[in-house]
Structure 1
Amino acid sequence: MVTLSRIYTRTGDQGTTALGDFSRTSKNDPRLIAYADTDEANAALGLAVTLGGLPADVQACLQRVQNDLFDVGADLCNPLAATYEYPPLRVKQQWIDELERDCDTFNEDLPALRSFILPGGTPGSAYLHLARTVTRRAERGAWAAIEMYGTQPAADGETAQEAQRPGGVNPLTATYLNRLSDLLFILGRAANQDAGGDVLWQPGGGRPTESTDSQE
């Protein structure tokens, strides 16, 4: 159970913040950036759920995802360790499998896509595409943290707080964010199907093409 009795703490006024294992790090740490972007993706999904006018089955799916994203952030903020006093939340392969099943389910009735599409159409689709792009950024942040810290726990017998080498990052966090961005693309398409379909990209903005042998 989480109890938040006071929101401001003043503990970050020197440019550092606490990770999930109570160690402190710079607010520019790639690990922190990854879970901050994950939080932003969740906020963007909140707009889609609240204002997008999406069908009930899509809303139910997204509300599950919003809970998952909190867990993704909890995972990213907690360095991997060989042992824990209290085992932290970790992303599981099952969650990624659920996203892939959702992709298959919602993509089944969509027409074949033969062009790139533009974000827009209905409010729901626009919000979903916004959430998709933020999720892609969060994924890049997760990979940046993985590149810096690796995917291995702190040294055997040491907690992450005790280790000289910070523990790594669970790679399933990045995989989850990747699959989620795929799902949001599909849902963005689905949200437009009853309102005229996809908004298709027109190369050159639909402008007439100039002849290659035209004379000035």
Structure 2
Amino acid sequence: MEKEVRIYTKTGDDGTTGLIGGSRVKKFDIRLEAYGTVDELNSHVGLVLSATDDDRARGVLTEVQSKLFVIGAHLAMDENAGALKEQLPCTETDIQVLEKEMDVMFEVLPKLDHFILPTGCQAASFAHVARTVCRRAERRIVELASQLSVDQNLVKYINRLSDYLFVLSRKLNFDKKIAETPWISGKD
């Protein structure tokens, strides 16, 4: 029988964590902020998945979750893990999948001519939260990219994913016949 993998290793008790490739960094390192935020995003995408019955969206979101694991792995790799990055690609095709899905949703959605508040049905609201976490992940990845080499497709994918999550939130409300709530500035 194989030995079960233990969740606790005690190696992080000194405030460091191991990267893929073997080096150790402090737990507040920007690399950890980047892939930790991607992990948080993945959990929020899971919330959207748990709240929608839209089969097409569920399929896309499941693919997104897998791609977020790939992106997190890329961000968790040090310079000794270079060959592994090639085995886990994030490609222009992955980005195009999100763009095509948005195009399909745009075909049925009403034109947006005002800002909307992030609300609606539960699945749409979860998508809005995921979108905001996605934007934070993008900021962390861009910050990391200012210090280390980061595949630009990761940045593009995360950027496009936040757009997709916004459009998806609209589509989920549209399908439930829930009207969008326009933002009103409060000025007379």
Equivalence for 1:178: 159
Deviations 1:110-156 (A, max 9, x none): 1110111111110010000000000110011100100111xxxxxxx
Equivalence for 2:36: 36
Equivalence for 2:115: 116
Equivalence for 1:198: 180
Q: Distance in 2 between matches of 1:30 and 1:19?
A: 12
Q: Distance in 1 between matches of 2:104 and 2:142?
A: 28
Give the aligned residue type for 2:179: G
The unaligned stretches of length 5 or more in structure 1 are: 150-167, 210-216
Q: Are 2:121 and 2:178, in contact at CA under 8 Å, matched by a contact in 1?
A: no
Equivalence for 2:67: 68
Corresponding residue pairs, total: 185
Question: If the length of structure 1 is used for normalisation, what is the TM-score?
Answer: 0.79
Q: Are 2:137 and 2:158, in contact at CA under 8 Å, matched by a contact in 1?
A: yes
Q: Are 1:42 and 1:69, in contact at CA under 8 Å, matched by a contact in 2?
A: yes
Q: Are 2:74 and 2:85, in contact at CA under 8 Å, matched by a contact in 1?
A: no
Using the aligned pairs only, state the percent identity: 38
User: Post-superposition shift, 1:67?
Assistant: 0.9
Q: How does 1:1-216 map to 2 (within 5 A)?
A: 5-50=5-50, 52-79=51-78, 84=83, 87-149=86-148, 168-193=149-174, 194-204=176-186, 209=188
The worse-fitting range, judged by mean Cα deviation, of 21-30 and 190-199 is 190-199
| C-alpha RMSD over aligned residues | 2.0
User: Post-superposition shift, 1:195?
Assistant: 2.3
User: Post-superposition shift, 1:84?
Assistant: 3.2
Structure number, greater radius of gyration: 1
The verdict on how the C-alpha distance between 1:147 and 1:113 changes in structure 2, with shifts beyond 3 A counting, is same
The verdict on how the C-alpha distance between 1:4 and 1:72 changes in structure 2, with shifts beyond 3 A counting, is farther
Question: If the length of structure 2 is used for normalisation, what is the TM-score?
Answer: 0.91
